[in-house]
Amino acid sequence: MLTLNQESSLAQQDYRCAGCGCPIGFIYGPTRICSFTGGLYCYECHFDDESVIPARVFLNGDWSKRKVCRSVYTWFKEVELEPLLDAVRFNRHIYTIQRNFSNLLTLRTQLQHLSAFLLSCRTADTSDEFRKRNYGKEYLFQQQHTYSMADLPLVQSGQLLLQLTKLATFGKLHVAGCNLCSLKGIFLMFDSFFFIF
């Protein structure tokens, strides 16, 4: 999952489908390649479903959808909301080569610091509001480098950046105007970063 798999040959697979093991090849009809596993499949195990390949996104900045076998497509759908993709594990240079991920890292770092204030604030249900805005996506401020499959199209379109920008603005405005939060520490706010001393 962390690397790009090489395409198999029919001989390497002993002329059998990588999914069900039935014979494939010249006399059995055309084979189909899965862009995720690199394996060759029969038409019953590969329906030409398409998906973004996480390794291609993080390693090459390749957001194009590619054909994957049915088992991979089904698995992607089952885990699409789970934060299983660690950008740094795929590519430790991701933030220097892909600006959209770099911008998200800045916002997620801000949110991580802001969450310490917002989740412990007892005024005007701030904690509940912050949790409601993050429901199901708490990892976006708890873990700086993880993403779900469902996040990837939002990263590409810029929607995730917009959502996190709104959330960070909400947090900054609250901390700046809240007597309780401002008593917890001295803070400086800049447009590009949020520092807590």
Question: What's the pLDDT at 158?
Answer: 95
The CATH number of the domain holding residue 49 is 3.30.40.10
Q: What is the chain's pLDDT, residue by residue, as a tens digit (197 residues)? A: 556 667 778 888 888 899 998 998 878 878 899 999 999 999 999 999 999 999 999 999 999 999 999 999 999 999 999 999 999 999 999 999 999 999 999 999 999 988 888 888 877 677 778 888 888 899 998 989 999 999 999 999 999 999 999 999 988 888 888 877 777 654 444 444 444 43
Q: Are residues 101 and 27 in the same domain?
A: no
Give just the sign of the alpha carbon dihedral 62, 68, 72, 77. positive
How many alpha carbons lie under 13 Å from residue 152 in its C-beta half-sphere?
Answer: 25
Q: Are residues 89 and 46 in the same domain?
A: no
Of 57, 78, 99, the one marking the end of a domain is 78
Q: Are residues 94 and 182 in the same domain?
A: yes
- The helix (run of H) or strand (run of E) holding residue 71 is helix 70-78
Q: Are residues 93 and 173 in the same domain?
A: yes
Q: Are residues 92 and 187 in the same domain?
A: yes
Q: Are residues 128 and 63 in the same domain?
A: no
- 173-179's contacts with Cβ under 8 Å and 24+ in sequence apart are 174/117, 174/118, 174/121, 174/126, 175/114, 175/117, 175/118, 178/117, 178/121, 178/123, 178/126, 179/123
Q: Are residues 136 and 69 in the same domain?
A: no
Beta bridge partners of 65: 52
> Structural domain of residue 99, as residue ranges?
85-196
Question: What's the pLDDT at 3?
Answer: 62
Contact 195, 187 (CB under 8 A): yes
CB atoms within 10 A of CB 108: 21
Q: Are residues 112 and 188 in the same domain?
A: yes
Q: Are residues 3 and 41 in the same domain?
A: yes
Of 54, 78, 102, the one marking the end of a domain is 78
Q: Are residues 90 and 187 in the same domain?
A: yes
Q: Are residues 17 and 55 in the same domain?
A: yes
Contact 40, 31 (CB under 8 A): yes
Question: What's the pLDDT at 187?
Answer: 45
Question: What's the pLDDT at 195?
Answer: 46
Give the C-alpha separation, 184 to 116, whole Å: 10
Of 25, 56, 78, the one marking the end of a domain is 78
Q: Are residues 108 and 130 in the same domain?
A: yes
For residue 38, give the 3-state DSSP assignment: coil
For residue 173, give the 3-state DSSP assignment: helix
Give the C-alpha separation, 73 to 95, whole Å: 28
Domain count, the chain: 2
Question: What's the pLDDT at 160?
Answer: 96
Question: What's the pLDDT at 52?
Answer: 96
